[in-house]
């Protein structure tokens, strides 16, 4: 089964819909300046209502050790996603799971993954031109590449481009954000449903091919 993370959640009704649709993980953004940014208190309140086994992810960018400890100690999250230029040592020995995100524009960006082999998962994102909407990076950069950890594919993915992205890249999972929104931080119920349906269709096709 392809792992599906829906990120940038800001509303309880969107959290409930994502859970209902079968998302594997939900992401709550704590990054200052993001149009989807929540305070730790607001994010923890939403995350606390998420039932297991759905993974609750706190998304941070270049946090300090104290900020990371605050997230760990609040008890509302299962995983921290590091989305900046964090020193690899910050991801080591954490009490929560870890995802290390990388902004990809050229093949050289993929070389940075070699420093973070102890992260739980990688996330390969586009190098966004603005904070409101992502766009896919050149997936051909991944051809023939192997990584130390399984990765989530991110960057402007939605119902229209998911089937091709899944067929081309075959990632461990996908991260959905702007591609399933009607506005930054406001998820579209129908687009979320269509995106999850596309993932499930891909998984069914894969199972048939393996029989």
Least confident range from 69-78, 107-116, 120-129, 179-188: namely 120-129
Instruction: Dig out the tokens for 187 from the structure.
Output: 């998820």
Q: Which domain holds residue 49?
A: 3-210
pLDDT band at 206 (very low <50, low <70, confident <90, very high): confident
* Amino acid 141: pLDDT: 95
Write out the DSSP string of 51-95. Answer: PTTSEEEEEESS--HHHHHHHHHHS--SEEEE-S---GGGGTT-S
Average pLDDT, the chain: 94
pLDDT band at 133 (very low <50, low <70, confident <90, very high): low
CB atoms inside a 10 Å sphere around CB 8: 26
Residue 169 clears pLDDT 70, i.e. is over it: yes
Half-sphere exposure in the Cβ direction for 6 (13 Å, CA): 32
Q: What is the CATH number of the domain that holds 205?
A: 3.20.20.70
Identify the CA nearest to 133 among candidates 178, 181, 176, 102.
Answer: 178
What are the pLDDT digits (tens) for 61-108? 999 999 999 999 999 999 999 999 999 999 999 999 999 999 999 999
How many domains are there within the chain?
1
What are the pLDDT digits (tens) for 49-63? 999 999 999 999 999
CB atoms inside a 10 Å sphere around CB 130: 10
pLDDT band at 127 (very low <50, low <70, confident <90, very high): confident
> What's this model's pTM, rounded to 2 decimal places?
0.94
* Amino acid 189: pLDDT: 97
* Amino acid 207: pLDDT: 75
pLDDT band at 136 (very low <50, low <70, confident <90, very high): confident
* Amino acid 131: pLDDT: 47
- Percentage of the chain modeled with pLDDT above 70: 95
* Amino acid 129: pLDDT: 53
| DSSP symbol at 145 | -
Question: Distance of CA 21 to CAs 5, 121, 193, Å?
Answer: 12, 23, 7
What are the two backbone dihedrals, phi and then psi, of residue 94, each rounded to the nearest 5 degrees?
Answer: -75, 150
Q: Name the β-bridge partners of 101.
A: 123
């Amino acid at each position: 089964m392809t792992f599906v993370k829906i990120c940038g959640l800001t509303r309880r009704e969107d959290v409930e819909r994502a859970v209902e649709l079968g998302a594997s993980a939900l992401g709550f953004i704590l990054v200052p300046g993001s149009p989807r940014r929540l305070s730790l208190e607001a994010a923890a309140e939403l995350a606390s209502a998420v039932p297991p086994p759905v993974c609750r992810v706190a998304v941070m960018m270049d946090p300090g050790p104290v900020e990371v400890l605050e997230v760990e100690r609040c008890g509302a999250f299962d995983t921290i996603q590091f989305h900046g230029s964090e020193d690899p040592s910050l991801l080591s020995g954490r009490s929560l799971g870890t995802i290390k995100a990388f902004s990809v524009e050229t093949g050289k960006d993929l070389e940075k993954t070699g420093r973070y082999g102890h992260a739980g998962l990688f996330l390969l994102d586009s190098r966004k031109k603005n904070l409101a909407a992502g766009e896919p990076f050149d997936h051909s950069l991944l051809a023939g590449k192997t990584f130390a950890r399984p990765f989530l594919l991110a960057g402007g993915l939605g119902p229209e481009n998911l089937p091709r992205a899944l067929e081309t890249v075959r990632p461990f999972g996908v991260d959905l954000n702007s591609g399933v929104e009607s506005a930054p931080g406001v998820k579209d119920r129908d687009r979320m449903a269509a995106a999850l349906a596309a993932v499930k269709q891909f998984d069914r096709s894969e199972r048939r091919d393996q029989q």
